[in-house]
Amino acid sequence: MGFSAAWLALREPADHAARDAALLRAAAQAAGPQAVIVDLGCGTGSTIRAFSGHLAAGSVWRLVDNDPELLRHAAEAAPGGVTTHRIDLRDLDLLPLDGASLVTASALLDLCSLDWVERLAARLAEHRLPFYAALSYDGVMHWTPADGADAPVTQAFNRHQVSDKGFGPALGPGATDAMAAALARRGYEVHRADSPWRLGPDQAALQRELVGGIADAADAAGEAQAKAWGGTRAAAAATALCHIGHTDLLALPPDAP
């Protein structure tokens, strides 16, 4: 599945506002004074910008994605100390983990399967690497004012979220629980925090794009009211409030300082 640079740019301010600030600071601290960070599914490099001001000078980023266009955007937007790696994340043996001090991902885990999460946890544990995964969708959405179709559309969207997004059956809203369990079983200390989008009328453009995508997915999952709901919600975007639930996770390896 594809993610356009335009969509990632539209969502970036909401993503940055939503990230849990304490967990982000703790992740930066876990990366250490000479940080070497591998960002999985980097898109246009939003995670680098989220860490701006939190890392010591001289930090190095290894940006991983399979989309050459997004990697080009990421390289252009990044300061020095960045390398890009065109890698299909399904093959975790290819990750450039040697000498890394932190692995990050954002808006990625919910696309992935249980098998992939278990394999990633094994790779992280093998290298004793801390892991920070932000903005995994948690299955909760609501709007103000409410609409009778919000609940059935959300249920259908959540069914669509667990369809294959390229990694096998996706975990969708169950992704953070699965990752937390896989790492806890390997002795990691796991911290979690809510990081919902809270979108108001000032983010009407994002709300409109978002409800269009939700309506398409819910329609594909068989919800008959989805398209009409999307039209109504898009028309109301300039006055509505919208909550989209996410979770951030930071996992520290055993005996981490």
Ligand X SMILES: C[S@@+](CC[C@H](N)C(=O)[O-])C[C@H]1O[C@@H](n2cnc3c(N)ncnc32)[C@H](O)[C@@H]1O
* Segments of 154-240 assigned E as strands: 189-194, 197-199
User: How many residues would you count in the chain?
Assistant: 257
Backbone angles phi, psi at 174, to 5 degrees: -90, 5
Out of 23, 42, 217, 251, which residue is the one contacting ligand X (CB under 6 A)?
Answer: 42
With contacts defined by CB under 6 A, name the span among 53-61, 65-73, 172-180, 199-207 that binds ligand X.
Answer: 65-73
* Separation between Cα atoms, residue 240 and residue 214, nearest integer Å: 16
**Which letter does DSSP use for residue 90 in this model?**
T
Instruction: Write the interaction track for ligand X spanning residues 157-196; mark x where CB under 6 A is met and - where it is not.
Output: ---------x------------------------------
Out of 14, 35, 41, 113, which residue is the one contacting ligand X (CB under 6 A)?
Answer: 41
Binders of ligand X among residues 122 to 161 (CB under 6 A) are none
With contacts defined by CB under 6 A, name the span among 87-95, 169-177, 182-190, 227-235 that binds ligand X.
Answer: 87-95
* Nearest in space to 35 (alpha carbons), one of 88, 128, 105, 99: 99
217 binds ligand X (CB under 6 A): no
117 binds ligand X (CB under 6 A): no
**Which letter does DSSP use for residue 107 in this model?**
S
Q: How many CA atoms lie within 13 A of 72 on its CB side?
A: 5
Q: Which residues bind ligand X (CB under 6 A)?
A: 3, 8, 15, 41-43, 46-47, 65-67, 70, 88-90, 106-108, 166
